[in-house]
Amino acid sequence: MQIVGVIPARFGSQRFPGKPLTNIGSKPLLQWVIEGAEQSQKLDKIVVATDDQRIFDLVESLGRTAIMTPSDLPTGSDRVWLAASGMEADVVVNIQGDEPLISGDILDALVEPFETSKVDMSTLGRSINEEELNHQNTAKIVLNKKNEALYFSRHPIPYSRGDVPVENLCCLKHIGIYAYTKKFLKEFCEQPPVSMEMAEGLEQLRALYLGAKIKVVKVDHDSWGVDTPEDVDVVLKKLEEKYGKA
Q: What is the pLDDT of residues 55-73, one digit of tens each?
A: 999 999 999 999 999 999 9
Quickly state the pLDDT bin for 158 (edges 50, 70, 90).
confident
Phi, psi angle pair for 148, to nearest 5°? -110, 145
Contact of 196 with 209, CB cutoff 8 Å: yes
- In whole angstroms, give the CA distance from residue 27 to residue 109: 26
Beta-bridge partners for 65: 47
Domain parsing of the chain, residue ranges: 1-115, 117-223
Each residue's pLDDT tens digit, 73-84: 999 999 999 999
For the residues 96-119, what does the mean pLDDT come to? Answer: 95
Query: What is the CATH code of the structural domain delimited by 117-223?
Result: 3.90.550.10
Fold of 1-115: Spore Coat Polysaccharide Biosynthesis Protein SpsA; Chain A (3.90.550)
In this chain, the answer to whether the domains covering 1-115 and 117-223 adopt an identical fold is yes
- In whole angstroms, give the CA distance from residue 175 to residue 143: 14
pTM of the model: 0.93
* CA 9 to the chain's CA centroid: 12
3-class DSSP state of 15: coil
pLDDT of 168 higher than 70:
no
pLDDT at 80: 97
pLDDT at 219: 93
Task: Please state, rounded to an integer, the average pLDDT across all residues of the chain.
Answer: 93
